[in-house]
Chains A and B, each alone.
Chain A
Amino acid sequence: MAVCVLPHTQPRMRREISTALTVLLPALVGCSSHTLDSKDLSSSLRATSSLAADADVFIEYLGSGHSTATFARAHAGYLIQELEDERQDLAGARVAPQLGPSLDFCQKQQEELRGELRTLESAIGHPDELPDIRKQIRAIGQAAAQARSGL
């Protein structure tokens, strides 16, 4: 029912809203679907490039030496968790045949970004490793943004 009320929300939002309503409005819980249209895919690419840019700013901040190690580790963890949520949305998704390559590309970028974010998480406290990670993350973000503009 929750999804029926909000038929055009993206899958993650649908799932989250459903979860919230499951807790607070059990009577309203109902159907769910994983079919994506081009808007959904565009949103996923946008989210991927945004997370990459977010990580880029984070690395810049780490370079300033103003962060605490605790904050840095926790924020890196949240970035990874957010990306995992994005990946999960696409994992079981169906798309129209012409969107197949875009879906594959988006998943590939997310996979690469996940790898870089994990490297970043373990590189906290090792500032010499950050520039290379930043370069990779920027490239992923740019590729995702470019793919989105081509949709």
Chain B
Amino acid sequence: MKKLLGLTLGIMTALGGFVDFGQIVFTMQSGALFGNRLLWSVLLGTIAIIIYMEMCGRVAVVAQEPVFSVVRNRLGYRSGLSVLIASQLLTVLTCAAELGGAAIVLHLLTGWSGKLLCVAFTLIVGASIGLLQFKWIERVYGLAGLAMIVFAVSAARLHPDLHDIVSGLAPHLTAARPPGNLHYYFFAVGIFSAMLMEYEVHFYSSGAIEEDWKTSDLTENFAVAAFGCVLGGALTVALVVVGALVFLPRGIYPVLLSTTTLAGAMPLGRAGLLLTLAGTLACLAGAAIETAMAAGYNVCQFYNLPWGKKLRPREAPVFTALWAGTLALGALAVLAGVRPLTLVNLSVVFGMVLMPMTYYPILRTAMDKSVMGRHVNRKIDTVLGGVMLGLIVVAAVAAIPLMIVTRSGTP
């Protein structure tokens, strides 16, 4: 049972990372524009994040080095600091988007003021981080996020063309429909990026240390990473499929979280609507927690300061101040009227630009025998990691030009 519950770290990491506000809207938009034709990007992103999540967990356990410790050691202080600052900004942006998204979902459920709900939700998320042990955070929010399976049920109830889905999993180089190839590439890069968001591996590798994983747990590490990511990837596929079946034929380009929720609920009854809202809320909560905690982990690991949920707040004051401050800043951005979807667009694209600087040091460390000993990368790990890193670099170079020429994907 304990081993089974250990999977919740992977589930929470992947659901909070894959099925967050950005991914829900972004993937449905891709389905609305290109049908199932971009599913290959989901598949590629899933493979890439499994490879790197496993690597991050292994490095964290064997070298006792979480991601930002690796970044500093491999890139040096100055370059590492640049990555840290950019990562922190992205983390705040993403956290704000999740809080804003959660306020929207709560408004759809209760009808109360969105700003009030944002404050209340931020306090609940803050209380969860402050009061719950790490294992309970991952269990509560990981398992609650499973309600998102309702989107897979919706996709099945809409009777998708399985042949078209399988065909979409194979890479297509062209869009074959309006608004054209540049938009197609923008969404391919965006989906790939959203699945590899840095805060996922920051949270996962820190979680492995929080959970006291030993080298004897490394087999589980792969299982946890793979299970969570495959589940998150499958749900992402379901989101694309629902977008393709509900929005594409009607010419809708969804820009509202309430519209995407409606699409998930349409094939189901009233219970389906409530489950869709609950699942979305759980995933957004998980993502808000991941981003807030990642903000605390990153700085403390970079400067070698005390961090972690096992320490009391006064024993890890910087860690505590950073996760609490990130939540507060995120909530303030929402209260100031910044649209969550705008924050998502920014974080997905700029996140992609930063990715090589996060994943390259991890790959280098995982293949370093002097650090990893007998747990060093196998040849296949290094080759696959290198190929994925190559794709990450290509996507990083293309991300901003594509965002500009496609007007952030607006058709």
Are B259 and A54 within 8 A (Cβ)? yes
Knowing A19-B342, A75-B108, the reply to whether A24 touches B89 (Cβ < 8 A) is yes
* CB-contacts of B318-342 with A (<8 A): 329, 332-333, 336-339, 342
Interface presence of B76 (CB below 8 A): no
Interface presence of B227 (CB below 8 A): no
A62 to B3, CA, bound (A): 45
Are B265 and A66 within 8 A (Cβ)? yes
Interface presence of A17 (CB below 8 A): yes
Are A17 and B346 within 8 A (Cβ)? yes
Tell me the minimal C-beta distance from A10 to chain B in angstroms.
Answer: 5
Interface presence of B136 (CB below 8 A): no
Task: Give the chain B neighbours of A56 by CB distance below 8 A.
Answer: 250
Interface presence of A108 (CB below 8 A): no
Interface presence of B254 (CB below 8 A): yes
Interface presence of B127 (CB below 8 A): no
Select from chain B the residue with minimum beta-carbon distance to A73: B111
* CB-contacts of B98-122 with A (<8 A): 104, 107-111
A17 to B164, CA, bound (A): 36
* CB-contacts of B255-277 with A (<8 A): 255-256, 258-259, 262-263, 265-266, 268-270, 272-274, 277
Knowing A19-B342, A58-B262, A74-B111, the reply to whether A13 touches B254 (Cβ < 8 A) is no
Tell me the minimal C-beta distance from B183 to chain A in angstroms.
Answer: 12
Task: Give the chain B neighbours of A73 by CB distance below 8 A.
Answer: 111
A22 to B160, CA, bound (A): 43
Tell me the minimal C-beta distance from B268 to chain A in angstroms.
Answer: 8
Select from chain B the residue with minimum beta-carbon distance to A39: B407
Interface presence of B284 (CB below 8 A): no
Task: Give the chain A neighbours of B269 by CB distance below 8 A.
Answer: 66
A145 to B251, CA, bound (A): 9
Knowing A10-B410, A46-B411, the reply to whether A20 touches B342 (Cβ < 8 A) is yes
Select from chain A the residue with minimum beta-carbon distance to B97: A20
Q: How many residues of B contact A (CB 8 A)?
A: 48
Are B251 and A50 within 8 A (Cβ)? yes
Are A71 and B108 within 8 A (Cβ)? yes
Query: Chain A, 59-100, contact with B by CB distance < 8 Å: what is the 0/1 string?
Result: 001000011101101110011001000000000000000000
Knowing A71-B108, A75-B108, the reply to whether A82 touches B255 (Cβ < 8 A) is yes
Tell me the minimal C-beta distance from B373 to chain A in angstroms.
Answer: 42
Select from chain B the residue with minimum beta-carbon distance to A49: B251
Task: Give the chain B neighbours of A7 by CB distance below 8 A.
Answer: 404
Interface presence of B221 (CB below 8 A): no
Are B333 and A20 within 8 A (Cβ)? yes
Interface presence of A47 (CB below 8 A): yes
Knowing A20-B338, A74-B107, the reply to whether A68 touches B270 (Cβ < 8 A) is yes
Interface presence of B305 (CB below 8 A): no
Task: Give the chain B neighbours of A151 by CB distance below 8 A.
Answer: none
Contact for A23 among B253, B336, B404, CB less than 8 A: B336
Q: How many residues of A contact B (CB 8 A)?
A: 38
Interface presence of B405 (CB below 8 A): yes
Contact for B89 among A13, A25, A50, CB less than 8 A: A25
Tell me the minimal C-beta distance from A76 to chain B in angstroms.
Answer: 9
A19 to B340, CA, bound (A): 11
Are B408 and A13 within 8 A (Cβ)? yes
Select from chain A the residue with minimum beta-carbon distance to B251: A53
Closest 6 CB pairs of A and B: A16-B342, A70-B111, A75-B258, A50-B253, A53-B252, A74-B108
Identify 17 new A-B residue pairs, CB closer than 8 A, beyond the known A54-B256, A61-B262, A73-B111: A8-B407, A10-B410, A13-B342, A13-B407, A19-B342, A20-B93, A20-B343, A23-B336, A46-B411, A58-B262, A61-B265, A67-B273, A70-B110, A75-B108, A75-B256, A78-B256, A145-B251
23 residue pairs A–B, Cβ–Cβ below 8 Å: A9-B404, A13-B407, A16-B338, A19-B342, A23-B336, A24-B329, A25-B89, A43-B407, A43-B410, A47-B255, A50-B252, A54-B256, A57-B246, A61-B266, A66-B272, A68-B273, A70-B109, A71-B258, A71-B273, A74-B258, A75-B258, A78-B104, A78-B259
Residues of A within 8 A of B (CB): 6-10, 13, 16-17, 19-20, 23-25, 39, 43, 46-47, 49-50, 53-54, 56-58, 61, 66-68, 70-71, 73-75, 78-79, 82, 141, 145
